[in-house]
A = this chain, B = another copy of it.
Amino acid sequence: MTAKDPLIIRDKDEMTKWSRFMKAQGSTIGLVPTMGYLHEGHISLVKEAQKHADLIVVSIYVNPGQFSPNEDLSTYPSNFEGDIDKLRSVHGGVDVVFNPFNLYDYGVGEGGETMKRGEEEKGEKVISCVESSKFGHETWIRVENLEKGLCGKSRPIFFKGVATVVAKLFNIVEPDVAVFGKKDYQQWRIIRRMVRDLDFGIKIIGSELVREHDGLAMSSRNVHLSPQEREKALSISRSLYEAKKAAENGERYCTKLRNYVAQTIQKAGGKVDYDEIVDQESLENVEVIQRPVVFCIAAWFGNVRLIDNMEINSLLFTKTKGKRRKQEKKVAIS
């Protein structure tokens, strides 16, 4: 198949119209929501979406609703033309890039017409989504338990911003399927829970985390790491691998595993935001591994906050415990 140029849609109503037209023809639609500055991780989401739907919509929108004032909204990297080039080169291509200017501006009409965007500078950075006006955006979706832990502790408005913008994208694009990366594990769980609890008729697919050749989890924010910071940041994935191996070899006590990872990252010069081993479904803390868990990490290297995670599946653990026990000395982590 030759390279396919995606249709670029910037207007909400036009997006909905396109989707409804295509669905009326019998096509299914897969949505991949992104904030742009695409890398191989995003491309893997597109490829996953292609398995589940006839037509692919990739949204590129840096959502101001999920950034606190002290966070990196203004420096979040972007390269729209580069993104389009990358999407064009995906085998099978994508059909639409939905790239709205501002999803939180509703104009002044009663009931809220969508903004007429002819006048705006497209390159301009959006400062805040919520005007301090009594007619501004004020509807937020809270996934009350899942949003609290992990990233929710240091980023208290993050997940209400994520859940809300995803609901908006779902209502605008009306996809049959949407794909989210398990790199953002908590986000993926929150979206699944929201879809279940609000009865969205959309299938949510979790796509595996993609790593650089040296193990660093792919992230648009990696571009901000200096070469030295990047090298040090490898301590995250390396210690997670070691911890996972140790768990598979019989180390069930989370404190020990967590201390090992935290210390390794700290020794490398990172500042740990959290290191937690949690239930894969409820994201509640686990003391002793007895069921599928996921080891979640957030750590700062320089001014860059990185997240990573690794699933430890009890099935694997149970199956391989006997076999792997022999190797225990090789992966001692204390």
Q: Which of B12, B193, B194 contacts A199 (CB 8 A)?
A: B12
Residues in B whose Cβ lies below 8 Å from that of A16: 201
Q: Is the CB of A140 within 8 A of B144?
A: yes
Evaluate whether A281 and B164 lie within 8 angstroms (CB atoms) in the complex, with A112-B196, A172-B199, A199-B172 already known: no
Chain B: minimal CB distance from A274 (Å): 19
**Residues of A136-164 whose CB lies within 8 A of B:** 137-146, 163-164
A197 contacts B137, C-beta separation under 8 Å? yes
Considering residues A106, A111, A146, A281, which has the most beta carbons from chain B within 10 angstroms of its beta carbon? A111
Judged by a CB distance under 8 angstroms, whether A273 is at the interface is: no
Contacts of A174 in B (CB 8 A): 201
Contact, CB under 8 Å: B134 / A138: no
A96 close to chain B: CB less than 8 A: no
Tell me if A204 and B111 are in contact (CB < 8 A): yes
Q: Does A291 contact B (CB under 8 A)?
A: no
Cα–Cα distance between A282 and B136 once the two chains are bound (Å): 10
A201 proximity list for chain B (CB < 8 A): 16, 171-172, 174
Closest to A206 in B: B111
* Interface range for A: 35 or more
Residues 100-135 of A, flagged 1 when their CB comes within 8 A of B and 0 if not, give 000110100011100000000000000000000011
Name the residue in A16, A110, A197 with the highest tally of chain B Cβ atoms < 10 Å from its Cβ: A197
Residues of B with C-beta under 8 A to A103: 199
**Interface check A24, CB cutoff 8 A:** yes
Q: Which of B24, B146, B167, B172 contacts A138 (CB 8 A)?
A: B146
Within 8 A of B (CB), among A183-240: 192-194, 196-201, 204
Contact A171 B200 (CB under 8 A): yes
A54 at the interface (CB under 8 A from B): no
Cβ contact within 8 Å between A198 and B164 = yes
Q: Does chain B have a CB within 8 A of A168?
A: yes
Does residue A284 face the partner (Cβ distance < 8 Å to B)?
yes
Name A194's closest neighbour in chain B (CB-CB): B139
Interchain CA distance A104-B199 in the complex, whole Å: 10
- Complex Cα gap A137–B146 (Å): 11
User: Which residues of B are found within 8 Å of A134, using beta-carbon distances?
Assistant: 145, 282, 284
Q: Which residues of B lie under 8 Å from residue A167 when comparing CB positions?
A: 198
Chain B residues near A196 (CB-CB < 8 A): 106, 111-112
CB distance from A139 to the nearest CB of B (A): 4
- Chain B residues within 8 Å of A282, by CB: 134-135
Contact partner, A139, options B12, B111, B137, B197, Cβ 8 Å: B197
- How far is B172's CA from A284's CA once the two chains are assembled, in angstroms? 30
Q: How far is the CA of A103 from the CA of B193 in the complex (A)?
A: 14
A171 near B142: Cβ-Cβ < 8 Å: no
Cβ of A171 and Cβ of B143 under 8 Å apart?
Answer: no
How far, in whole Å, are A145 and B201 apart by their CA atoms in the complex? 29
List of 9 A-B pairs having minimum Cβ-Cβ separation, nearest first:
A139-B197, A112-B196, A134-B282, A171-B199, A168-B199, A138-B144, A138-B145, A139-B194, A139-B143
> Which residue numbers of A lie inside 8 Å of B, CB to CB?
12, 16, 24, 103-104, 106, 110-112, 134-135, 137-146, 163-164, 167-168, 171-172, 174, 192-194, 196-201, 204, 281-282, 284
